[in-house]
């Protein structure tokens, strides 16, 4: 079966459109809500769903996403629970799903076992925050071949030679972290964005997604002029925290993401 990430970007490119990638922490406020949000987001125009696997020490995340992971863990979310949630999402949806995770939960589960279980559940890609490609050369286990895409992160501080090394090993899409530091909403888009995206694009034909700090339709439109996909995370997670287990959660979050999705299609 062709990978859903590849299919989605091929479809969007043919239409001259960009993708909205929405990030949420799986299990926040609970896994039933995560499943319902996934279905609602697809209906609202989200192109790719990025599910955070809750972890007790999420070093790349700002306070909003750290608290989301803490809430998910307090609600009893486990790695197996996240994979079962993906399986449940697949009952009604073929939205591409990327797991955003750290190595610790994967190694506790078993590296090979985790990848096989994730693929069987319906996961399309992996974004492992603390696994640089250099490790593959010294650990044969890390070269495991699956149908899932391995998405690589590039930062504003990444030197040109390193960018080429990272993109050579990437698949699915490349995730450009548009700001130094951790995740979180920002008041404006990074001024260096056009030049940085162009530098990455010179090394790879893969779609380029830009995230960190993007929180409103105006930001999305600005980023979509240069990138193939726009990632919105903390702004969504903040609203999940606000509505919690309220009966309004799904409707309010759908209302929030719909104009973000529309902004990726208006360039």
Buried b (16+ CB within 10 A) or exposed e, 198-230: ebbbebbebbbbbbbbbbbbebbbbbbebbbbb
Catalytic site includes residue 50: yes
Distance CA 17, CA 59 (A): 33
Rounded (5°) CA angle 185-172-124:
90
Contact present, 5 and 48 (Cβ < 8 Å):
yes
Residues 6 or more apart in contact with residue 111 via CB below 8 angstroms: 141, 142, 144
- On the 0-12 / 13-18 / 19+ scale of CB atoms within 10 A, 172 is buried
Largest CA distance in the chain: 50
Give burial (CB, 10 Å; 0-12/13-18/19+) of 254.
middle
Sign of the dihedral through C-alpha 57, 60, 66, 71? negative
Query: Catalytic one among 28, 61, 124, 185?
Result: 61
Closest CA to 83 of 38, 126, 114: 114
Contact 124, 153 (CB under 8 A): no
Selected catalytic residue, list 6, 28, 47, 50: 50
Indicate if 32 belongs to the active site.
no
Q: Which residues are catalytic?
A: 50, 61
């Amino acid at each position: 079966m062709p990978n859903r990430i590849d299919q989605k970007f091929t479809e969007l490119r043919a239409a001259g459109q960009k993708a909205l990638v929405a990030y949420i922490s799986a299990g926040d406020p609970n896994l039933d809500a995560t499943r319902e949000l996934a279905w609602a987001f697809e209906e609202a125009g989200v192109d790719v769903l990025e599910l955070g696997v809750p972890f007790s020490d999420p070093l790349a995340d700002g306070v909003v996403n750290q608290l989301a992971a803490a809430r998910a863990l307090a609600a009893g979310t486990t790695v197996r629970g996240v994979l079962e949630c993906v399986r449940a999402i697949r009952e009604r949806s073929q939205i591409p799903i990327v797991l955003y995770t750290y190595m610790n939960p994967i190694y506790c589960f078993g590296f090979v076992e985790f990848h096989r279980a994730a693929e069987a559940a319906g996961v399309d890609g992996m974004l492992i925050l603390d696994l640089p490609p250099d490790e593959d050369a010294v650990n044969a286990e890390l070269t495991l071949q699956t149908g899932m895409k391995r998405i690589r992160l590039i930062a504003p501080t990444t030197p040109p030679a390193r960018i080429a090394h990272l993109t050579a090993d990437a698949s699915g899409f490349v995730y450009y972290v548009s700001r130094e530091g951790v995740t979180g909403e920002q008041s404006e888009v990074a001024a260096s964005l056009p030049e940085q995206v162009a530098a990455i694009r010179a090394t790879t034909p893969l779609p380029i997604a830009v995230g960190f700090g993007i929180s409103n339709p105006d930001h999305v439109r600005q980023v979509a002029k240069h990138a193939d996909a726009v990632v919105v995370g903390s702004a969504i997670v903040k609203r999940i925290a606000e509505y919690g287990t309220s009966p309004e959660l799904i409707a309010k979050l759908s209302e929030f993401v719909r104009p973000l999705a529309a902004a990726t299609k208006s360039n």
